[in-house]
């Protein structure tokens, strides 16, 4: 069994999102969800590098910022869940990209990791890249040859707001782990 923590890292201007991550372990469902009934769920650490926290709007948060303004906003789960052989990350995001960024570092990520301190463990999730206007899936693990693998899943139209339901499902099959990525219930191969 692995202990998994959930981290949201938002670096992309003009993204609103509703987040519902779920992890299942020990044959009992356990959810680690962002509570949207009150501002700044106390089960998450909310912070930024230079500016205000994400804006709370009763049923979603607006994360803003970029490398050029030196503003990064983040929400990090303070809880960990002991994950079983199957668990999932699920998030609903509305994305508006006004224009492309010159930097691939401008992005929004929602992911699950087993290490929130040194970032060298197992991790998987989604990242929206403002430079390419795409939703990418990614896997990071010392157990895969390339250590970090990122792949395009969906293109996002520039100048138009779109809403997506993202889901990444991890399952142990035999002696190896398999991750399946879905956008709006359409399955993608990693």
Please tell me the predicted confidence (pLDDT) of residue 13: 34
**Per-residue pLDDT at 153:** 96
Which residues on neighbouring strands pair with residue 134, listed in sequence order? 129, 155
pLDDT recorded at residue 119: 66
To the nearest 10°, report the CA torsion of 144, 2, 179, 6.
-110
In this predicted structure, what is the pLDDT of residue 22? 42
Length of the chain equals 190
Q: Is the pLDDT of residue 104 over 60?
A: yes
Model pLDDT for residues 147-175, shown as the tens digit of each residue: 889 999 999 999 998 989 999 988 878 77
**C-alpha 171, offset from chain centre:** 18
- pLDDT, tens digit, for every residue of 22-80? 444 444 445 667 777 888 888 888 877 767 788 888 878 877 766 566 667 777 777 77
| Predicted confidence (pLDDT) at residue 14 exceeds the cutoff of 50 | no
Domain-by-domain residue ranges, the chain? Answer: 2-188
Q: Which two tokens stand for residue 56?
A: 């709370």
| Mean pLDDT confidence for 5-16 | 37
pTM over 0.85: no
| Cα(168)–Cα(187) distance, integer angstroms | 10
Per-position DSSP letters for 97-118, written without gaps between them: -SS--S-TT-EEEEEEES-SSS
- C-alpha 89, offset from chain centre: 8
Average pLDDT score over residue span 122-130:
87
**Mean pLDDT for all residues in the chain:** 75
CATH level 3 topology of 2-188:
Jelly Rolls (2.60.120)
CA distance 6 to 75: 9
Place of tokens 């970032």: 119
Of the two residues 25 and 144, the one the predictor is more confident about is 144
SS3 86: strand
User: Computed over its alpha carbons, how large is the radius of gyration of the chain?
Assistant: 16
Neighbours of 154 (CB within 10 A): 20
Per-residue pLDDT, 87: 80
DSSP E strands in 11-72: the ranges are 15-19, 22-25, 28-31, 44-48, 55-56, 61-63
């Amino acid at each position: 069994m692995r202990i998994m923590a959930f981290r949201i890292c938002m670096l992309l201007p003009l993204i609103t999102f509703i987040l519902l991550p779920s992890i299942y372990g020990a044959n009992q469902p356990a959810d680690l969800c962002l509570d949207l009934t009150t501002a700044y769920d106390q089960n998450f650490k909310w912070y930024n590098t230079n500016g205000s926290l994400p804006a709370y709007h009763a049923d979603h948060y607006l994360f803003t910022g970029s490398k050029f303004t030196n503003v990064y906003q983040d929400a990090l789960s303070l809880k960990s869940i002991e994950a079983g052989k199957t668990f999932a990350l699920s998030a609903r995001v509305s994305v508006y990209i006004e224009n492309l960024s010159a930097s691939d570092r401008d992005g929004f990520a929602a992911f699950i990791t087993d290490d929130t301190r040194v970032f060298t463990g197992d991790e998987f999730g989604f990242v929206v890249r403002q430079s390419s206007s795409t939703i990418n899936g990614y896997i990071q693990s010392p157990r895969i040859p390339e250590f970090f693998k990122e792949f395009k899943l969906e293109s996002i139209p520039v100048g138009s707001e779109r809403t997506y339901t993202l889901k990444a499902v991890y399952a142990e099959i035999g002696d190896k782990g398999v991750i399946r990525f879905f956008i709006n219930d359409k399955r993608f191969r990693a």
